[in-house]
């Protein structure tokens, strides 16, 4: 019968620690678990192989014996001791009833390979087999929202795998941010916990505001006369309108900061970034003859 490389089955090398073996087994067993792969004969076969490999390598005594004899398991220590014992009985005139085989001689069963049962015995091992609980499958979902949608905290219902999940979307969540929602993934196997839901936010900006971290930026047009003489204007913020006082002689490109009028800061209730407004002075067009005369007079005054 063929030798079975349990290290290869678990995709580890011979220097693997107990923790490495446990991690490798849980990862692969979850991948090929029959409950997660219904009607998949290949997965079922692979799962049995993984269980057998884990049964050997996770048990220090079994692993020591396996490592010691390896491919020469048929000529291992147990076989040699039994042979010597039988020889002593024969030399003493005694009789040895029955035979012996491999490494134990237990009766076999269908859950383990012939190699395993010849080396370790089938009867004693089966009673110690454990049913491993596996966490359910994690779900990854991308949620597309507009920037306006995440300005305030709100509730939203998502349908995932036919199940409606009611979520609270926190204000200030950022583009590309991932939020983990525990227990909203797939069902676990063998009594294991449910998987988790990982929600990735894809936030598009269709507003007139540019967002940088928590600060907002926008541009407001300013007519020439208000820029020269000063005055009061109405400007848009993200959540409404405000009145601004413009100083006389305001230059195009100058900025004002409105503290606390930016975007909400994630998970910090009541805290906001700032709003920066850039003024763009718009020159008048289609001047009348009278207006041209007046501007000419102003030009002369400026050169005196």
> What's the pLDDT at 71?
63
The answer to whether 104 and 79 are in contact (CB under 8 A) is: no
45 and 109 together in one domain: yes
Q: Domain ends where: 160, 175, 204?
A: 204
Whole-number pLDDT of residue 174: 94
Same structural domain for residues 154 and 73?
no
Instruction: Give the chain's residues under pLDDT 70.
Output: 1, 70-111, 114-115, 117-132, 304
State the CATH number of the domain containing residue 262: 2.60.260.20
**158 shares a domain with 61:** no
Q: For residue 104, list its beta bridge partners.
A: none
Give a yes or no: residue 151 inside a domain. Answer: yes
Does 216 share its domain with 157?
no
Asked whether residue 131 is domain-assigned, the answer is: no
- Of 10, 4, 13, 38, nearest to 24 (Cα)? 10
| Whether residues 190 and 217 fall in one domain | no
Of 105, 126, 147, the one marking the end of a domain is 126
Do 197 and 214 belong together in one domain? Answer: no
pLDDT digits 0-9 by tens, 148-175: 999 999 999 998 888 899 999 999 999 9
Q: How many CA atoms lie within 13 A of 78 on its CB side?
A: 17
| Number of domain units in the chain | 3
Is 277 inside a domain boundary? yes
Q: What is the pLDDT of residue 55?
A: 85
pLDDT for the residue 111: 64
Domain limits for position 234: 210-303
| Residues 83, 96 contacting (CB under 8 angstroms) | no
Determine, yes or no, domain membership for 134. Answer: no
Measured CA to CA in angstroms, residue 185 lies from 136, 137, 191, 201 at distances of: 7, 6, 14, 17
287 occurs within a structural domain: yes
Q: Give the list of residues 6+ apart from residue 48 with CB closer than 8 angstroms, or none.
A: 111
Asked if 188 and 136 touch (Cβ cutoff 8 Å), the reply is yes
182-241: pLDDT as tens digits: 998 888 877 788 889 999 999 999 999 999 999 999 999 999 999 999 999 999 999 999
pLDDT given at position 126:
41
């Amino acid at each position: 019968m063929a030798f079975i490389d349990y290290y290869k089955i678990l995709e580890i090398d011979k220097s693997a620690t107990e923790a490495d073996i446990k991690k490798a087994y849980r990862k692969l067993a979850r991948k090929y678990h029959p409950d997660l792969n219904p009607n998949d004969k290949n997965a079922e076969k692979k799962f049995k192989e993984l269980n057998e490999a884990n049964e050997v390598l996770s048990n220090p005594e079994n692993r020591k014996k396996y490592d010691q004899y390896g491919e020469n398991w048929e000529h291992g220590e147990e076989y040699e001791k039994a042979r010597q014992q039988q020889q002593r009985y024969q030399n003493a005139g005694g009789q040895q009833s029955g035979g012996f085989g491999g490494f134990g001689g237990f009766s076999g069963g269908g859950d383990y390979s012939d190699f395993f049962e010849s080396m370790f015995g089938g009867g004693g091992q089966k009673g110690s087999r454990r049913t491993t609980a596996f966490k359910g499958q994690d779900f990854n979902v991308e949620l597309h929202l507009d920037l306006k949608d995440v300005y305030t905290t709100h509730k939203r219902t998502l349908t995932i795998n036919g199940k409606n999940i009611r979520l609270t979307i926190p204000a200030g969540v950022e583009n590309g941010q991932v939020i983990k929602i525990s227990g909203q993934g797939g069902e676990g196997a063998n009594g294991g916990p449910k998987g988790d839901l990982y929600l990735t936010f894809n936030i598009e900006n269709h507003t007139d505001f540019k967002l940088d971290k928590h600060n907002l930026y926008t541009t407001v047009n300013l007519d020439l006369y208000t820029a020269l003489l000063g005055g009061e204007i109405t400007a848009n913020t993200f959540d409404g309108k405000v009145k601004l006082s413009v100083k006389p002689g305001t230059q195009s490109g100058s900025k004002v900061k409105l503290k606390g009028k930016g975007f909400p800061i994630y998970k910090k209730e009541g805290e906001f970034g700032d709003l920066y407004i850039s003024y763009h002075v718009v020159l008048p067009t289609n001047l009348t003859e009278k207006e041209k005369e007046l501007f000419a007079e102003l030009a002369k005054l400026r050169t005196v």
